[in-house]
Structure 1
């Protein structure tokens, strides 16, 4: 039972960590090199990694998606998709895909004359699954070495774990005040009933023995 308990705990917290890592905003300092639009096939088991801005797109097996190609300061390439999130999940309420696409085109630069920008995004990049992080905003920065402190993530995680601790403390108090006494009462009743049953069996056995002696 202990192994099952710890396996459940690891799976639960691993799922929570994965959800937070996928959903919370991340920041990349990059140089934008190109933007393009491409038709993407939406598989049933990877559809959750693509935005569904309206009811019609939810029924489509493919659609045109805008992409932003960029290069990190270390030379590694990164590709972002540019899709509205609408009122769905994650709750970024992004409706300015066209504006962001224009900003990305305006920020295109060359290796000889680089223009560095900070791209705020969420999601994961997987070449095997053909999924891309979704760009949320683009902001010019002074250079490739600029340091961006994720204040939103820090505040959110502090409040999130504070809420979890508050729930745990209240549950522990409720358990000690209500659940534990109830369990102990049930156990006491069970043991009392067992003792009474054992005593009755003893008396019945004595009664049978008394008949045998006659």
Structure 2
């Protein structure tokens, strides 16, 4: 039973960590090499990794999606999708897909004359499942090492850790001061009731044995 408990806890925190890693913003410093638009099928489980900002889009089995192609300073490639998040999750309230696409096109550069940009995004990149992170904003930077500090994610995780730690501390105190005494009292009451029943049963048995002897 202990192993099942730890397995459930490990599974829960692993899924929660994955959820945060997917949803929280991250930064890449890249050189934009191209932008394009492509028709994407949305007829399998990977649909959850594509935005559904409108009720109409939820009924579509495929749609046109804008992409931004980039190359990192180490030469590795990365492709971002450019979709509105609307009022959905994560709550980035992105409605400027067209503007961002225009900015990306304006910042396209070559290897000989690079223009480095910091792309703020959320999500994951999976070649096998054709999953792409969603670009939120693009900011020009001086070089491939000029990566912005991720203030939002850092402050969020510190705040969340503090609130969780405080909540856990208060729960431990509540369990120690309120629940444990209440459970102990209930256990004592059950024990006392069991002892009383046992004494009555013994007295009845003694009376029954006496009655049988007299007969």
1:19 aligns with 19
Q: Secondary structure at the match of 1:92?
A: coil
Contact 2:70 2:77 in 1 (8 A): yes
Shift of 1:44: 4.0
In the alignment, is the contact (CA less than 8 A) between 2:65 and 2:82 conserved in 1? yes
1:95-118: CA deviation from partner (whole Å, max 9, x where unpaired)? 100000001001111111111111
CA offset at residue 207 of structure 1?
1.4
Q: Which stretch shifts more, 167-176 or 126-135?
A: 167-176
Give TM-score scaled by structure 2 length.
0.96
- The 5 A counterparts of 1:116-195 are 116-195=116-195
Answer with 168-177 or 147-156: which moved more: 168-177
Please give the TM-score of this superposition, normalised by the length of structure 1. Answer: 0.96
The C-alpha deviation readout for 1:141-169, integer Å capped at 9, x for no partner, is 10112132111111111111111112112
Deviates more, 1:97-106 or 1:168-177: 168-177
How many residues are paired up? 214
The answer as to whether partners of 2:27 and 2:147 remain within 8 angstroms in 1 is no
Q: Which runs of 5+ in 2 are unaligned?
A: none
Cα distance in structure 2, aligned partners of 1:42 and 1:19: 21
Which secondary structure does the structure 1 equivalent of 2:56 belong to? helix
In structure 2, the residue matched to 1:107 is 107
Deviation at residue 176 of structure 1 after TM alignment:
2.2
Tell which deviates more after alignment, 16-25 or 139-148. Answer: 139-148
> Is contact 2:39–2:62 with CA below 8 Å preserved after alignment?
yes
- Cα distance in structure 2, aligned partners of 1:96 and 1:31: 21
Q: Which runs of 5+ in 1 are unaligned?
A: none
Distance 1:142 1:53 in 2: 34
Give, in angstroms, the shift of residue 46 of structure 1.
Answer: 1.4
How far apart are the structure 2 equivalents of 1:146 and 1:89?
Answer: 29
Instruction: Tell me the distance in 1 between the aligned counterparts of 2:113 and 2:8.
Output: 53
Moved over 6 A (4+): none
Q: Which residue of 1 aligns with 2:54?
A: 54
Q: Aligned residue for 1:87? A: 87
Q: Give the Å deviation of 1:177.
A: 2.6
Q: Deviations over 1:46-88 (max 9, x none)?
A: 1211111110001111111000011111111100000001111
Pairwise CA RMSD: 1.1
Structure-1 separation of matches of 2:97 and 2:123: 16
